Amino acid sequence: MPEKLLFVCLGNICRSPSAENIMNHLIDKANLSETIICDSAGTSSYHIGSPPDRRMAAAAREQGITLKGRARQFKQSDFQEFDLILAMDRENYRNILSLDRGGKYADKVRLMCDFCTRHTEKEVPDPYYGGPEGFNDVIDLLMDACEGLLQYVRDRAIST
């Protein structure tokens, strides 16, 4: 059974689609696309159906990553569907856990920055209302987190 990862932010047009597509890029390079499957979602309904933010897409493209996908909202069944749910910031984390009424799935929900090895940030900052540099910083931070996450998923697959 493939390992299924879900990346979650607020709007699903900036951070989580970047995380999903960076992760897919690393997964492809590692020849693991049959083994690890990625998706992304937003806790809000603000941008359902929208493509990734064009400023975010431009920053990703500079690093050779094309942002694909359309925004969708996080839903209850995602708790069953996915093995790991990666929240971009603490607010996303709290909002996801508030939907897990029985507290059954808390172990699946993690903060994305827990997997960073080079950066010390604890959250992926929301770039939406900031300047262009914020988008580059998000890509840089997510590259680090995704590399750490890939290593974590590989180690976990070996030990189970």
Minimum distance of ligand 4NP from residue 145's CB (angstroms):
14
Residue 32 has phi, psi (to 5 degrees) of -115, 20
* Smallest separation, CB 15 to ligand 4NP (Å): 3
Query: Can 15 be counted among the known catalytic residues?
Result: yes
Q: How far is the CB of 120 from ligand 4NP (least distance, A)?
A: 20
**x/- map, 6-25, ligand 4NP, by CB under 6 A:** ---xxxxxxx----------
What is the C-alpha to C-alpha distance for residues 65 and 112, in angstroms, rounded to an integer? 19
- Respond yes or no: is residue 140 known to be catalytic: no
Question: Active-site residue 114, yes or no?
Answer: no
User: CA-CA distance, 154 to 29, in Å (whole number)?
Assistant: 14
String of contacts with ligand 4NP for each residue 117-136, x by CB under 6 A:
---------x-x--------
Distances (CA, A) of 100 to 19, 61, 96, 97, 137: 23, 35, 7, 5, 31
* 49 torsion bin: left (phi>0), alpha (psi -120 to 50), beta (else): left
Nearer to ligand 4NP, 56 or 84 (CB): 56
15, 38, 78, 116: which one is catalytic? 15
What is the DSSP code (8-state) at residue 38? E
Look at strands 3-9 and 36-42 and give their pairing: parallel
Least distance CB 46 / ligand 4NP (angstroms): 5
Q: Tell which positions 63-92 bind ligand 4NP, by CB under 6 A.
A: none
